[in-house]
Structures are given as structure tokens and as C-alpha cells.
A and B are shown apart, each in its own frame.
Chain A
Amino acid sequence: EPEVTQTPSHQVTQMGQEVILRCVPISNHLYFYWYRQILGQKVEFLVSFYNNEISEKSEIFDDQFSVERPDGSNFTLKIRSTKLEDSAMYFCASAGAEGNEQFFGPGTRLTVL
């Protein structure tokens, strides 16, 4: 069964460093998403992406964040200058043409020291 994959599973970085979180969505999916979950809290929407551009972004997704689909298979989330409060679990999700069900990856746990 096809699945969304994410790498790395755990990333530790120093405050102020840039990080890139990688996702490989399900191959025939059209819609891509990033969500964030701070430990013990609910899952929050960051950004959605379709047809090589951002469809919607939340207020969390400020200028420090960017997304890219560089090669038709990977979908990346970049944080330019990490802050302590960026420590969280980051989930990638993708959806097919109907867009009525999102499939989640296993997440990347980001720890900012």
C-alpha cells in the first residue's frame, strides 16, 4: 500500500540554524500539506500546496518558513532560522484528486536547542 514517507525521523539543531524537512507524498497525489504538533498539543495546519504554489498558509507560516517541490516527488519544508518554539513534530500529508482524505507521514520530530 502506498504511503507518505518523511525524513529524517528526528532532527536536532541549534537555534538560528536552517533545517529542511523532507517528505515524499504518495505518487499520484495532487495536494500537499504540512502540519505541526507541539508536544502535548493539537495538530495545527501550516501550509497547503497545489500545482507548484502555496494554496493557503496559516499565521504560523511566517517568512521563516518556505515550501518547495523541487523534483516532482519530494516536498520540503524549510525553516530558515530556527527558534526554540519551533520544536515540534512536523507532519507531511498528501491527498488525491478528490481531496477528501489526507494521508499522513510518520512525522519528523524537530528539536531546537
Chain B
Amino acid sequence: AQTVTQSQPEMSVQEAETVTLSCTYDTSENNYYLFWYKQPPSRQMILVIRQEAYKQQNATENRFSVNFQKAAKSFSLKISDSQLGDTAMYFCAFMRTFGNEKLTFGTGTRLTIIP
């Protein structure tokens, strides 16, 4: 079974600064997907970024980027130029690549952007 660990329950950072959220996972699979989801106070689950394990290049989406270290089973999210709207819970998630697969989530990191 896969597990996802987020060791930072809460983080805060000043607006416009850069912040990195950590995530580690455990799996015996070689091919899989990793995701970061954002959950604002509305509790909607919003996909931030996706990484395919067979791709060595780290995924980026505007101000969001990941540092994917496959051997270390580490998948951190970097938010650059943080904005007040980035305040949310962030969940790291794992999914196998066989088509109809469930997401396994970590416990989340509550990120607060301070004005």
C-alpha cells in the first residue's frame, strides 16, 4: 500500500516571499503520478500541479513548481511570490498509473500568507 506523509502541519510566510511545502511518499511502484491539491476555506479541492514519475523534468505552473526526487521519494511544492489568495490547506497525493486508480492523500499543510 502507498503512503503519503506531510510533516509540516502548518506554515506561514510573508506575502511575496517564497515557501516550500514538503511531501514524502512510499511505494513499490515505478510509474505513478504525484499531485498537489489546494483546499481554500470554501473546501473545494483544486488541482495545483501534477508530476509524472517517468518524467525527470520538474513540473511548473506559473508561480508553482515542484522538486521531484524519485530516488528519495520526495515531492516538494515551491510557491514563489506568494499571494494572499494562496492561503489554504495543501494536500500532496499519490496515484498509480493503471487507469482507474484512487488518490492517496497526505494529512495536509495549512499555509497562511501574512500581509
A contact residues vs B (CB 8 Å cutoff): 31, 33, 35, 37, 41-45, 48, 50, 55-56, 58, 89, 91, 93, 95, 98-104, 106-107, 109
Contacts and interface: CB of A to CB of B under 8 A. Distances in A.
Contacts of A98: 99
Given A91-B45, A104-B44, A99 B105 contact: no
Tell me the dominant secondary structure on chain B's binding face. Answer: loop
A106 B104 contact: no
Interface residues of B, number: 25
B62 to A, nearest CB: 17
Interface of B: 33, 37, 42-47, 50, 52, 91, 93, 95, 97-108
Contact of A48 (B37, B102, B105): B102
A99 B107 contact: no
A94 to B, nearest CB: 11
A107 B107 CA distance: 18
A109 B44 CA distance: 11
A56 B106 CA distance: 20
Given A33-B102, A41-B107, A99-B99, 5 more contacts: A48-B101, A99-B98, A101-B50, A104-B45, A109-B43
